[in-house]
Amino acid sequence: MRGPGAELVEAVLDEQARSAELYEAAPCGLLSTLPDGTIVRINATLLGWVGRTGAELVGRGRFTDLLTVGGRIHYETHIAPLLAMQGSVGGFALELRTAHGRLPVLVSAVVSAGDGAGPSRVRFVVFEARDRRSYEGELLQARREADRERERIQRLATVLQRTLLPPRLPEVAGVETAAYYHPASADEVGGDFYDVFALPGDRWGFFLGDVCGKGPGAAALTSLTRYTLRSAAAHDPDPVAVLTNLDAVLAQEHDRGNPKFCTVVYGVLRTAGEAVEMVLASGGHPPPLVLRADGAVDVVDLVGGQLVGAVPEPRFTRADLRLVPGDTLLLYTDGLIEARVDGGARYEEDDLLRFAGALAPAPPATVVEAIAALLEDFGDGLDDDAALLAIGPRRRGAPG
Amino acid sequence: MDVANRHRVRVTGHEDGPLLLLAHGFGCDQHMWRLVEPILARTCRLVLFDFPGAGGSPASGWSAERYSRLDGYAEDMAAICRELDLRDVVVVGHSVAAMIGVLAAGLEPDRVSGLVLVTPSPRYIDDEGYRGGFSRADIDELLESLESNYLGWSAAMAPVIMGNPERPELGQELTNSFCRMDPRIAQVFARATFLSDSRDDLATVAVPTLVLQCAQDAIAPPEVGAYVHEHIPGSRLVTLDATGHCPQLSAPEQTAAAILSFVGARP
């Protein structure tokens, strides 16, 4: 192996001898200050940028004198504290005041310990950053456009979501109702839905469910499900038959290679004196709760119903229910019982039962309000959307 | 989220010592007190906290409306005093938090029994017969730089992920992170700070007050400290032989000694 040629050795030695020249003419600004900021050395490159002379600055000026006011405040409030605590900072974007305006720069600095008795120094390297700043400007512009686009999508999603939920529940004589919907995200339409609607013969239909998926596909499926349930309900008084009808419609979609399914509780109610009588059917949905007037909480026996639209000839479960004044039926979606609480464990059905137990007896509006507050408390732990629908006989003296 | 979590409240120091509530200003978070904390903690009870969004503190509950005026920050301090049931507390506020402390003392007169104003300024912009050190154009330029140099400020405020093998005591998570703030929040804080005019609030101070200033300070020059001292009846002024706007970092021993002497605790 050959050693370096004589010419190269000479070049290296020559460059070492010219280290002062390198300092002055380096392709970046170099600056040393005392801990109080007083400049003790500054190179020609930096002096050229700011249009000053060494005589003006060395021993007299401070680094912050070279900065714009914004830069100076940025320095005093951010960089100086960091230097004091970390001993170094890297890549701060600042602006120098120059004869012609401002020059964007990137600054790194390190505190070097004094040798023995001498004071320590702060050494700065300053890079010109005009190109980077204009690139940042473009990035910022792109980000603002992306933000605007996102807002537009959120507005669309919100409007679409609103069309899938009743703007307000209808007034039902002798009955109190309350509902709440918590969207998982402002960007996407969720898959939870509910409705209350009039049927012939002083009867009322109601449902609450959850379609598979999110976004536009879920919105279309929700729309299909709602209208199918409403039209089937008008023709058939038996809730199980209504779900069977829905299943047939969804299964057709399924056959087109487009799996669509949902879970839902559908019911029909009528008033009987002060009481409310209802028949419920469930397809794979978490069973509703009844908060009784005496403070007890029942789980409605609807266990065993299968998903609607997912399996051939699914089995749906049916339950008859009688609510007296003070009782409240609560339907909810699994967003509620799958939320993560305190960053870990899932909020489970047992937790909900305990919560309802502490709440009972309570009218529909109070139940929905309390659980809505619980959902808000979950914060980021709630990653799915969640819907609530509560129904009970009108209490004596209740408004309406 | 409760007050203590929202503000990352930390209580430390001597249990039976004089009670100090340490408030950081615009820029960094409660780590600003790191170098004085061990000295003060020997004899004093210390309560430290962050304003929302400072140093990566939770920004929940933050709104531009609430925090566009210093009163919003003062409400936070008052809430901390109530939540922790602080009594006979001396509020030590740095930079803009000095004036926030003055407002908080007005909100909780039964709890705040003294004020230490570290490099305070009741108004940064010059006015007729008043020199704050900045022209309106200067401050507009600052606010404009927060807007135009958005990425510069945000990069500076984002934590730099790098190990610090020479100084492991700092820990990795600390590097740059304590001066971090979402630029949107920083803009509102900067606006509230540098456009504030709290001169009229000085005369309302009814508790013993210590004004601590630096001999050289580009943000709150000595004449501003003198103004604060003159306008708070019975206040004491101590000028530290220190440079910059953060004497708790550049001269921690002197700063701590002045605070201890004011609260009557021995170092």
Residue pLDDT, tens place only, A45-65: 999 999 999 999 999 999 999
Residues of B in contact with A61 (CB under 8 A): none
Cβ atoms of B154 and B183 closer than 8 Å:
yes
pLDDT band at B157 (very low <50, low <70, confident <90, very high): very low
Residues of B in contact with A72 (CB under 8 A): 218
Which residues between 15 and 74 in chain B have a beta carbon less than 8 angstroms from any beta carbon of chain A?
A: 25-28, 31-32, 34-35
Domain boundaries, chain A: 6-128, 165-393
Nearest residue in A to B153, CA atom: A93
Average pLDDT over residues A173-202: 90
Q: Inform me whether the pLDDT recorded for B158 exceeds 60.
A: no
Residues of A in contact with B160 (CB under 8 A): 90-91
pLDDT band at B172 (very low <50, low <70, confident <90, very high): very low
Q: Which residue has the tokens 């009481």?
A: A275
Average pLDDT over residues B249-255: 93
pLDDT score for A199: 94
pLDDT score for A212: 85
Is A76 close to B144, i.e. CB distance below 8 A? no
Residue B210's contacts (CB-CB under 8 Å, 6 or more residues apart) are B114, B115, B116, B117, B235, B236, B238, B258, B259, B262
Cβ atoms of A102 and B52 closer than 8 Å:
no
Q: Inform me whether the pLDDT recorded for A88 exceeds 90.
A: no
Q: Which candidate from A71, A76, A104 shows the least CB-CB separation from B219?
A: A76
User: Within 10 Å of residue B151's Cβ, how many Cβ atoms?
Assistant: 19
Cβ atoms of A196 and A205 closer than 8 Å:
yes
Cβ contacts from A onto B, under 8 A: 110
Give CA–CA dist A368/B92, Å, rounded. 46
> How close A76 gets to chain B, by Cα (Å)?
6
Q: Choose among A78, A108, A68: nearest CA to A92.
A: A108
DSSP state of B57: -
More confident residue, B51 or B146: B51
Q: Residue A33: beta bridge partners?
A: A39, A122
Q: Residue A210: beta bridge partners?
A: A192, A263
Q: Inform me whether the pLDDT recorded for A269 exceeds 50.
A: yes
Is B246 close to A80, i.e. CB distance below 8 A? yes
Is A71 close to B25, i.e. CB distance below 8 A? no
pLDDT score for B159: 39
Instruction: For the domain covering A6-128, report its CATH number.
Output: 3.30.450.20
Q: Which candidate from B32, B155, B167 shows the least CB-CB separation from A87?
A: B167
Q: Inform me whether the pLDDT recorded for B174 exceeds 70.
A: no
C-alpha torsion angle, residues A141, B58, B173, A82 (rounded to 10): 70
Q: Is B95 one of the annotated active-site residues of the chain?
A: yes
pLDDT score for A195: 95
Average pLDDT over residues B112-116: 97
Rounded mean pLDDT of chain B? 87
Q: Which residue has the tokens 């790098």?
A: B162
Average pLDDT over residues A162-181: 91
- In terms of Cβ atoms closer than 10 Å to its own Cβ (0-12, 13-18, 19+), residue B11 is middle
Q: Which candidate from A68, A81, A84 shows the least CB-CB separation from B145?
A: A68
Give CA–CA dist B106/B112, Å, rounded. 8
Residue A247's contacts (CB-CB under 8 Å, 6 or more residues apart) are A283, A308, A309, A314
pLDDT band at B194 (very low <50, low <70, confident <90, very high): very high
Q: Is B113 one of the annotated active-site residues of the chain?
A: no
pLDDT score for A255: 66
Distances (CA, A) of B97 to B2, B34, B51, B215: 22, 17, 10, 20
Average pLDDT over residues A159-178: 89
- What confidence tens digit (pLDDT) does each residue in B200-227 have? 999 999 999 999 999 989 899 999 999 9
pLDDT score for B160: 37
pLDDT band at B167 (very low <50, low <70, confident <90, very high): very low
CATH class of B3-122+198-263: alpha beta
Q: Is B229 one of the annotated active-site residues of the chain?
A: no
- What confidence tens digit (pLDDT) does each residue in A320-364 have? 999 999 999 999 998 887 777 766 777 888 889 999 999 999 999
**Is the peptide bond prior to A361 cis by the omega test (within 30 degrees of 0)?**
yes
Residues of A in contact with B143 (CB under 8 A): 70
Please tell me chain A's helix, strand, coil percentages from 3-state DSSP, rounded to the nearest 5.
Answer: 40, 30, 30
Edge-to-edge strand order for the sheet containing A203-211?
A192-199, A203-211, A262-272, A275-283, A317-323
SS3 A281: strand
B205 touches chain A (CB under 8 A): no
Whether A6-128 shares its CATH topology with A165-393 is answered: no
Phi-psi sector, B142: left (phi>0), alpha (psi -120 to 50), beta: alpha
Is A140 close to B150, i.e. CB distance below 8 A? yes
User: Within 10 Å of residue B64's Cβ, how many Cβ atoms?
Assistant: 13
pLDDT band at A117 (very low <50, low <70, confident <90, very high): low
The H or E element spanning position B260 is helix B252-263
Residues of A in contact with B28 (CB under 8 A): 77-78, 81-82
A165-393 adopts what CATH topology?
A: Phosphatase 2c; domain 1 (3.60.40)
Average pLDDT over residues B156-180: 47
pLDDT band at B171 (very low <50, low <70, confident <90, very high): very low
Q: Which residues of A touch B (CB under 8 A)?
A: 35-37, 64, 68-74, 76-82, 84-87, 89-95, 104, 133, 136-137, 139-140
